[in-house]
Amino acid sequence: MDDLTLLYYTSNRIQEPTGERIRQHLLETTRGEIPLISVSQKIMNFRINICVNNIGVSKYNIYKQIYIGLNYIKTPYVACCEDDVLYNYEHFTHRPEKGVFAYDCNMWFAEQDEFWRRPVEDDTDALRRRSGMFGCIVEKDTLLQYLNKKFLKYPEPDSNNYDWGEPRSKVEYFSGKLPLVVFIHYDSNNGRRQIQKRKLLERHKRESLPEDHTKNIELYGDITTVWKKYYEI
């Protein structure tokens, strides 16, 4: 797989050794076949590493780290990888059309006692509720052009600016047989954002349907085993 690079970015707030276990899973699941660039706020021994120092946690800085990493990528496509997600090989085989942002909508949250996912209605647009940059695959130049415009408009972070989110100008949603698993943790957020995230996820969980809850997911196994494997110290 020589046309795609994994772009892993982290604020290094996730606890260790959990972060290291998730990184190792990414290397194992991609079989060492896919180039990887990591952009972090602490120096890391994780393939080609770019350390931006402790710039802080914000949506602006998430995209700043992505933007910095893109400039080191040589392949036509990039897959965004976040520090709290378990990926599968099939996910990285998807290729969108030119200029299209592709989002994997087959995802489950992992909590200590169960896997669950956000409910969606039976229409394409609703699938965006199960997607995000953690599941984005796109042409490198398409994402670079998008972020070039963003950072020209907003060269510095501004707490009053909410114009940072997943690119939705031209999108597609795809769903492989195997899901992505996103761990629910609050290590990467603090203050008001932590409270907001917690309340939002609690509401989504209350709205979810019985079929949106499970104790076992193919490939990963039962939630007790998964939680112990990645989160028990």
Q: Which of 43, 33, 41 is closest to 64 using CA atoms?
A: 41
Write down the pLDDT at residue 190.
47
Residues in the chain: 233
Lowest mean pLDDT among 66-70, 130-134, 195-199: 195-199
Comparison of pLDDT for 193 and 72, the residue scoring more: 72
CATH number of the domain within which 216 lies: 3.90.550
- What residue numbers bound the domain in which 207 lies? 4-231
Amino acid at 211: E
Report the distance separating Cα 176 and Cα 62, nearest Å.
Answer: 26
pTM above 0.75, yes or no: yes
Instruction: Count the domains in the chain.
Output: 1
Residues paired with 115 in a beta bridge: 110, 214
Residue 33 CB neighbours (<10 A): 10
User: Looking at the predicted structure, is the pLDDT value of residue 96 above 90?
Assistant: yes
The stretch 163-185 carries a mean pLDDT of 88
pLDDT in tens, 24-63: 999 999 998 999 999 999 999 999 999 999 998 888 999 9
- How does pLDDT run across 187-230, given as a tens digit for each residue? 554 445 566 777 778 887 888 889 999 999 988 999 999 999 99
* pLDDT of 84 above 80: yes
- E strand map for the chain: 4-9, 36-40, 48-51, 77-82, 85-86, 101-104, 107-110, 115-116, 136-139, 171-174, 180-183, 213-214, 216-217, 221-222
